[in-house]
């Protein structure tokens, strides 16, 4: 266990915000986590942070940042199939690489998503037609109310599009300590999203696929679209795609018949936030040290590496205002503001 006071968080958030936490505690086991939660010297609130890739620190954090270093993979093969329990502190993409290298299908479409395994289960990360809930069987947690441990079945986690009870009703209550995934060694490529099938066909023709091939192609596609966090600070997609009423969609389509739109079962229509931001003229827009990423307008970047939280927040407000006045739609951030 390591406890540090006045911890610089620059390397612990992918926006590379130069902020600090009053205290920072790293733990290697569930018992160490319990000890930390019982330590009266540590200031509250307690905030679990993984790779800090979906967070915007809006200033110095006055509580304690908790970081899991619970590592390890336990693989089981039995009559029910193949399952692997992975420590919350494992790097998500390293887990994807491990599975693909073992020839196990499951997380390959989610390759290169930044962050750690624990947060992946909180966020219900998704990409290229797969959500992590599709391969989770259970989530091991520590309950911060009474410090008991337990496993929450995937069906009880309230998973939806980038949603879970961990982010909603249970916010702040459970700390994820490990996650169990169901994987398979039977041929199971998932190619139905966007241009994935076409890209695989182009790269490999009619060859039978292995998970590593899909992983490589997903990584190649992602690299053309998203900034590598090591090179340019960001938190990925900054805004959620808005759901609008049929009438609101028609008002936009009257002026822009080409507006991309996805009808939803409840009668609403999903419109890509990236399209709205681009049409509002903000693709590549630079404001001080912050900018709208030129290749993908859904991403706000720390353009110079020196952006302050205020500059990111000011650009966020500018985008929301401009899209609102152009289309009457209020964008809401996907990135969690701390
Ligand atoms: C370049 C880039 C591309 C991205 N692409 C995608 C994408 O394709 N799809 C996608 O879904 N997301 C994407 N993201 C968003 C992000 O990577 C995911 O949300 C990821 O799961 C966050 O993991 P993290 O470890 O960094 O979590 P953090 O940002 O540190 O935390 C996220 C949330 O989880 C909570 N949390 C973290 N660890 C625990 C724990 N052990 N127990 C309980 N709560 C915890 C935190 O308190 C916070 O509320 C992208 C981000 C970037 C920067």
Q: For position 288, which CATH number holds?
A: 3.90.78.10
Active-site position among 178, 237, 311, 316: 237
Q: List residues bridging with 83 in a β-sheet.
A: 76, 182
Range of the domain at 266: 233-337
Q: Measuring from each residue's beta carbon to the nearest atom of ligand 1, which residues come in under 6 Å? A: 14, 47-55, 68, 88, 113-116, 118-120, 122-123, 125-127, 162, 166, 175-176, 226, 229, 234-236, 336
Active-site position among 32, 162, 163, 268: 162
Same-domain status, 92 and 60: no
Count of the separate structural domains present in the chain? 3
Residue 334: active-site member:
yes
Q: 65 vs 23, 72, 102, 134, 177, CA distance in Å? A: 6, 22, 34, 29, 15
> What is the structure's pLDDT at 234?
97
Rg (the chain; Cα; Å):
21
Ligand 1 geometric centre to CA of 26 (Å): 18
Same-domain status, 191 and 115: yes
Same-domain status, 167 and 194: yes
Same-domain status, 132 and 162: yes
Residue 237: active-site member:
yes
* Domain boundary pick from 176, 204, 225: 225
> What is the structure's pLDDT at 185?
95
Distance CA 14, CA 53 (A): 5
> What is the structure's pLDDT at 322?
98
Same-domain status, 199 and 269: no
Helices (H), 157-210: 196-204
> What is the structure's pLDDT at 79?
87
Distance CA 246, CA 269 (A): 6
Residue 198: active-site member:
no
pLDDT lower than 70: segments of the chain: none
Same-domain status, 180 and 312: no
Same-domain status, 194 and 292: no
Same-domain status, 275 and 258: yes
CATH number, position 182 = 3.30.465.10
CATH number, position 62 = 3.30.43.10
Q: What angle do CA 64, 94, 201 make, to 5 degrees?
A: 135
Ligand 1 geometric centre to CA of 121 (Å): 9
User: Which residue's alpha carbon is nearest to atom 35 within ligand 1?
Assistant: 119
Same-domain status, 110 and 149: yes
* Domain boundary pick from 156, 191, 225: 225
Same-domain status, 220 and 77: yes
33's tokens:
């986590």
**Strand extents, DSSP E, 238-305:** 243-244, 262-263, 269-270, 286-287, 290-292, 299-302
Same-domain status, 210 and 243: no
* Domain boundary pick from 68, 87, 106: 68
Same-domain status, 128 and 40: no
């Amino acid at each position: 266990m390591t406890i540090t006071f006045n911890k610089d968080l620059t390397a612990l958030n992918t926006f590379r915000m130069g902020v600090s936490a009053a205290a920072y505690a790293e733990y290697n086991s569930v018992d160490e986590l319990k000890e930390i939660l019982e330590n009266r010297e540590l200031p509250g609130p307690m905030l679990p942070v993984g790779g800090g890739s979906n967070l915007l620190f809006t200033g110095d954090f006055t509580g304690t940042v908790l970081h899991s270093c619970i590592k390890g993979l336990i693989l089981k093969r039995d009559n029910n199939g193949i399952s692997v329990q992975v420590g919350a502190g494992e790097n998500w993409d390293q887990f994807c690489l491990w599975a693909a290298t073992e020839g196990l299908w499951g997380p390959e479409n989610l390759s290169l998503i930044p962050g750690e395994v624990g947060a992946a289960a909180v966020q219900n990360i998704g990409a290229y037609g797969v959500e992590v809930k599709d391969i989770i069987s259970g989530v091991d947690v520590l309950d911060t109310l009474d410090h008991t441990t337990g496993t929450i079945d995937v069906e009880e986690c309230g998973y939806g599009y980038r949603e879970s009870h961990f982010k909603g009703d249970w916010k702040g209550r459970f700390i994820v300590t490990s996650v169990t995934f169901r994987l398979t060694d039977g041929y199971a490529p998932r190619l139905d999203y966007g241009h994935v099938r076409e890209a695989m066909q182009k790269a490999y023709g009619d060859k039978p696929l292995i998970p590593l091939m899909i992983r490589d192609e997903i990584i190649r596609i992602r690299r053309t679209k998203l900034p590598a966090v090591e090179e340019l600070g960001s938190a990925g997609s900054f805004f959620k795609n808005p759901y609008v009423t049929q009438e609101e969609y028609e008002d936009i389509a009257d002026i822009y018949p080409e507006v991309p739109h996805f009808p939803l079962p409840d009668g609403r229509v999903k419109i890509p936030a990236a399209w709205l931001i681009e049409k509002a003229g903000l693709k590549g827009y630079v404001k001080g040290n912050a900018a709208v990423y030129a290749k993908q307008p859904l991403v706000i970047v720390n353009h110079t590496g020196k952006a302050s939280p205020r500059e990111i927040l000011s650009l966020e407000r500018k985008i929301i205002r401009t899209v609102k006045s152009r289309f009457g739609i209020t964008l809401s951030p996907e990135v969690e503001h701390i």
